[in-house]
Chain A
């Protein structure tokens, strides 16, 4: 059985950062929290869906709100126990395992601390296989599992149970509630039994993040690219430098564009344009789509091989841009309707990741 402890949490965090596709917030704090939690409460067990009986309950959880606020208003770590208590009161049944709503970024780490403190295992799955900004952009939503009831808690003994008219409302109300609760709060959503979860979640993503992070460990950019190719079936889009960067920040979304000019193995006058909205969403070359959301677009620092979040991308930085296919659910028509380019306001249809000659990989 898979375990997470002080020896592999850093590797796991590295994997989560890559799967964040540029978004989801910093993983550093989550790693530090989880290390503290496993030191105090013991190694964290990771269970597969196959290990669970059909009728036991799974509690997907994570943060709602602004990750940057969580770096200031640091978690008590006890939020998971509050969520679990309310969840069990609502269901009248015990929680068997916690699950990350999203494996990418800070939300890939936070449920680890909560699970360790609850003495519960973590399910080897998540609701996205990456990061999306909207609460209902979940594989569970596509499968018909309701986001409501949403349980929210702020670490100050304020707890809300939200039953929304639909999943879009659930996201909107949860985000507004998070503002009143201090800018960020803990949330449990999409409660489900293990039976229905088998066709509703993105399986295997916890072990994937760990394998990916471990394969990246101590590697230069070349080794990191190999690890991404092996574990994510990733395609290298370009190696080069950020030569243009524009950010437009308005309200909840950090929007912007960046241009990477080819260097080294990608020499010549090639230019790749990246569009971002919290995450990297589109990669275009000469007006041709090379990768698009929901597929993962990751920008890695050539110097360190580490994933670069959208808010930390800098002019002049030497980077490698890769794309990796999203979980299968997102390539279905109903998946693309929810998280394809048009869902983010781009007037463009989804296209599979393509290599330079336009051939699909």
Chain B
């Protein structure tokens, strides 16, 4: 009976905590106001569920934390590491220098210097230009202590990472073996600028992730909880603190993915449209085979175009606080006591927002014509039973805490991607390598070595090539150990 898990998620307005037993039964739940001091909020929320009496602190074995705290660090241009930015691609790529598209204030805060050096690969794996190792060494030794991390991005590194790995060795030689180094091929995607930006974000946010881990840990210890800490990833799965230090951008916006995962768990539905009604925002996303449907294309993080894969969740600025009580003007209603007319008013407010409800539902629904709508979040009772285009509205029990429950029940995952030529033999051997790398990633993220498995394989053809190439992405997941 000493296998409890606690999910803690800090949202825009509230920080929620739930405690689940080994059979996923909800033992306690609490909701406290978010103050912005993440350690305090975690401690307050934990105190609230421990105070309930149903949870003995010493029986908690894992704590899963979901927060956008790291993203707020970028947006506020604080708490970031100075990064030496190395791009390997010369003589190509110089028409758009590294970080040229970043908001100027953020670029100034993050960059310790940028350089483009000769090297990189072609799409077929050839390396026509040798890596200019001397230029990297000179650049880094010139920067010296001003750099607290290094980000290295090579042209077609997802095809052949050799030059990035060589550059990483140079960085450790010049700046010390402990200097954090982020490599673009580890974030695997096509599009140099977006991948480079993601790599720089990973490099600059490593410290914030470390601090967040330490803050959360001391908040837990203060509540008498000495447990494994896991962070919620953008896709709704989990990773351990060490993994998060290497890939902090993976937890920059975990809210929608975690909530959709929680809705899937609570409703036991594999394919659905998920609507999460919060205090100020309602999110609508798609659930496909139990996994949040992903956004296609580049994603914008604090004004920076990245290759991060986020769930395709649309936020509509309408929530429980948008519907007020007529009798006491300006007082938000209690969702559980909403009248039919207040529910209709809520749907009207959603539909008249800049993004129409119908559009969001239709996009979330995507490939299947008839899907159920799973409604969760504190305002789940605000949604009426009948909605145009929806055959069934499901409001799962405990759905009010779907976000925190989603964090607590998620598995650990890791993914890896590479580009290879689309020839049968090349493709087969690449796929084997990528599967092995994804499994290793998941294990590094904290998954149980013996119970990890490949859960998703995606192949995207690169168009217009006479000799076609493929981007292969593999995701592996398993329970934590």
Q: Do A and B bind each other?
A: yes
Residues of chain A whose beta carbon lies under 8 Å from any beta carbon of chain B: 25, 29, 32-33, 36-37, 65-69, 71-78, 113, 133, 155-157, 175-176, 179, 182-183, 241, 243, 249-254, 278, 302-303, 311-312, 314-318
Residues of chain B whose beta carbon lies under 8 Å from any beta carbon of chain A: 89, 91-97, 100-101, 120, 122-124, 128-129, 155-156, 190-193, 296-297, 355, 359, 362-367, 369, 461-468
Q: Give chain A residues whose Cβ lies under 8 Å from the Cβ of B94.
A: 76-78
Cβ B91 vs Cβ A155 within 8 A: yes
Cβ A29 vs Cβ B366 within 8 A: no
Cβ B91 vs Cβ A68 within 8 A: no
Cβ B93 vs Cβ A312 within 8 A: no
Cβ B93 vs Cβ A73 within 8 A: yes
Given contacts A29-B193, A156-B129, A318-B362, contact A69 B95 (CB under 8 A): no
Cβ B461 vs Cβ A249 within 8 A: yes
Cβ B465 vs Cβ A32 within 8 A: no
12 A-B interface contacts by CB (under 8 A): A32-B96, A33-B95, A66-B464, A69-B464, A71-B192, A72-B156, A72-B192, A75-B92, A176-B466, A254-B464, A314-B366, A316-B365
Q: Give chain A residues whose Cβ lies under 8 Å from the Cβ of B467.
A: 179
Determine the residue in chain A with the shortest Cβ distance to B95.
A77
Question: How far in angstroms is the closest Cβ of chain A from B132?
Answer: 14
Determine the residue in chain A with the shortest Cβ distance to B195.
A72
Given contacts A72-B192, A311-B463, A314-B296, contact A36 B92 (CB under 8 A): no
Cβ B366 vs Cβ A249 within 8 A: no
The CA of A74 and the CA of B93, in the complex, are separated in Å by 4
Q: Which of A68, A77, A182 contacts B462 (CB 8 A)?
A: A68
Question: How far in angstroms is the closest Cβ of chain A from B152?
Answer: 15
Cβ A302 vs Cβ B359 within 8 A: yes
Determine the residue in chain B with the shortest Cβ distance to A72.
B192
Cβ B123 vs Cβ A183 within 8 A: yes
Q: Give chain B residues whose Cβ lies under 8 Å from the Cβ of A67.
A: 464
Q: Give chain A residues whose Cβ lies under 8 Å from the Cβ of B123.
A: 69, 72-73, 182-183
The B interface is mostly helix, strand or loop, or mixed, namely loop
Cβ B463 vs Cβ A66 within 8 A: yes
Cβ B466 vs Cβ A251 within 8 A: yes
Cβ A72 vs Cβ B191 within 8 A: yes
Given contacts A36-B95, A312-B297, contact A303 B355 (CB under 8 A): yes
Cβ B156 vs Cβ A73 within 8 A: yes
Q: Give chain A residues whose Cβ lies under 8 Å from the Cβ of B365.
A: 316
If A66-B462, A69-B464, A72-B155 are given as contacts, then 13 extra A-B residue pairs at C-beta distance below 8 Å, sorted by A number, are A68-B462, A69-B462, A73-B120, A74-B96, A113-B95, A155-B91, A176-B466, A182-B128, A249-B463, A249-B468, A303-B355, A311-B463, A316-B366
The CA of A315 and the CA of B363, in the complex, are separated in Å by 7
Q: Give chain A residues whose Cβ lies under 8 Å from the Cβ of B297.
A: 312
Given contacts A36-B97, A76-B91, A156-B91, contact A179 B359 (CB under 8 A): no
The CA of A305 and the CA of B91, in the complex, are separated in Å by 37
The CA of A85 and the CA of B80, in the complex, are separated in Å by 46
The CA of A183 and the CA of B156, in the complex, are separated in Å by 12
